[in-house]
Chains A and B, each alone.
Chain A
Amino acid sequence: MSTKTIRCPQCKNKVTVQGNPGEKTNIVCPNCKAKGVFTFPAPIPEKDKTNYTDAIEVIDLSKSFNGFTAVNKVTFSVHKGEIFGFLGPNGAGKTTTIKSILDLIHSDSGTIKINGINIHENKKDAKKNVGYLPERVAFYDNLTALQNMYFYAEMKNALKSECKKLLEDMGLSDVINKRVGKFSKGMVQRLGMAQAMIGSPPILILDEPSSGLDPRGSVLIRNKIKQLQKNGATIFLSSHILSEVQEICDRVAIINKGDIVAKDSVSNLRQKLNLKPKLTLELEEMTDKIKKVVHEIPGIVSVQIINKIINITCNSRTKSKVIIAIEKAGGNIINLHTSDPSLEQVFMKFTE
């Protein structure tokens, strides 16, 4: 039984009412005699009392295979609504981590929560939140694309009617009644993506989503991922295509030899590593004076001169000084290209 004090909407007089959570109570204002109904707020479910801002939480996850430690006390979290890149060299523990999140393999220790639900305690409810595209996508070869989709829709308790639309979205509308056994690798990959999206799960775990796809297919998947994020989904993405990760991910984690060695946004990781932008200039003519001037500019990290091309690594602020100095020395710049440190550089540094 709880007590609430509310104001009468007509005379603004304070009225005190008593009742249980979720209960409706008829009230009469003692001042103006206005009648109304007050509903006591429903009890807050236990799991919602904590404000879960993380879609996926991995805490101290460890897993060994025959004495070999595949992942060692891995801890990270994926915030709701973000695209999170999960990177690492082959054999670093990416797939073991992903499979542990989905309970495909049994971790030795650690806690995994999906939307606040512990996967080890409530597998079914946790998995209801997830759509998964595995690294090695496979379907039932004897069934058609649509039959496969219907099967997964049934298992996810989703509407079968959405299957055709998803196949169309992935560019498979012409082959919905074709046996999957006759599909190319790229088509199977697209079907895998469509399967992962059945039931509009709030979290998508995508392991190498662009694997085996032609450039058009890669762009299609990338755009789809961006669209899913706009619609509020959280994307956990593992990929070896670092340019793709750099383009679409809000944050990344890098795993190496079973340990998380970095986790942050790409720009923050660049800053942490003190990586500098690269400036490439092509001159009409190279002179000794220009060569000398370039080396004397303060803030330059490295200079490489090959014929008429100068590659300079420097601070962002120094870039304009370089251009001015070369022009003052009589140089005529005919081509100029600047590039920020790539995720590839970050990756290489962290996985050395």
Chain B
Amino acid sequence: MSTLDSAEVAVVGAGVVGAAIARDLAAHGVDTAWLEAGEDVGAGTTKANTAIWHTGFDAKPGTLEAQLVARGYERLIDLAPALEVPARADGAVLVAWDAEQADALEGILAQAETNGYHDCRRLDAAEVYAHEPRLGAGAHGGVLVPGEGLLCPFTLPLALGRQALAGGVRLHLRAGVEHATREQGPDGRARHRLHTSRGAVTARYVVNAAGLASAAVNRLLGHEGFTITPRRGQLLVFDGLARHLVRHVILPVPTARTKGMLVAPTVHGKLLVGPTAEDLDDPTATATTAEGIAALTRWARAVVPALAEEEPIAAYAGLRAATEHRDYQLFAAADEGYVCVGGIRSTGLSSCLGIAEHVLGQLAACGLEHDAPRELPPVRLLGPVGASGQPGAPPYLGDDRPRPCQDPAAVASDPSYGRVVCHCERVSAGELHAALADPLLPARDGDGLRRRTRAGQGRCQRFHCGARVDALLAEGRP
């Protein structure tokens, strides 16, 4: 079989975790091949995340997950603005809905302290309603978590990935690993040979960040220790016209099994409810169910009664890579040059940069030599043009900045930014063209275009723009 690539390090998986690792490898000047079985970066389990920027206040103390979520949170404070990833620490209110739950609040506060998060504050019932006036009746009290926030699960992997590519990483899409062998390289040292559908990739070191497939890839590399049980989470999204109903992330008191269903704003100005938690055997079961949607609707109305009057604009399901263990499955086989990053659940969005730093340390312990970290070229997004315009880049998706069509300077610079195609989400023709023409990570299909621009993601669900966007995509596809 032909050789697709030959690198010092091969990273398997282009979810948010793989993207953060690839980005850090680029920052350290490491020769890296990056493999993804699917069609795009961030298109698997990452895109169906609950989009919460976790502080780690409620993590299981002493776990690697607790440590890496806290570290990932910290790194994102600087990197999110630099990468122009929408991220906002609006805070969370954890609400106790009965006396028994209220009794658990002190334990939650103590757990946050143990985790090194010291900003939590106990709220009495009146304070809960002062923070969230639209909350349904019956709150017994709560905990304020000021640093808990919101992230864009679409932009984060793409921005990390774009910076990795700008830093020299080579991405191979539709290159799922089918089997793996060990061989002797031309310099006489042992190396991996990863056989993919597009050819073989040789690498001294392999990082397995394959998400739902991480256990399978782990076995291909000759290791055991964990299995993935996909845990389905169904989510319901309400239109932006309902956004004002909630100010913070509204968390329930967690149970032993799940963190429970939250009601949260999104950085895109929507309102999200979920996730459910259903253990499944089928790693492709991303369907929503009548029962799941009914449970989400009930919960939405119980937490924020005014949501009974609002229409959902999307329902979707994601699969979390749950394992039989209570922690990430992150370990290195030093003599083989293999690092496994398995069982990264929904916290991966927040912890990805903590994981990347940890993985770099593990690779160094395996013998990888790398440069001191360098500044990667900035990867700016489109608009507002006055601030950071760079042609051929997708737009900023957060609702805290105007879209190019709203920005007089952007429209003056290019009339196509004033030509609105998706009216619900205010996406202009200029942005769609830019996302298709991005030299680093162009949109290749409708789903990719939606994640980069939000076209068609609004309340009309493509009634107005679907045909035109599809036609643009058909024309503009490379």
Do A and B form a real pair? no
Interface residues of A (CB under 8 A from B): none
Interface residues of B (CB under 8 A from A): none
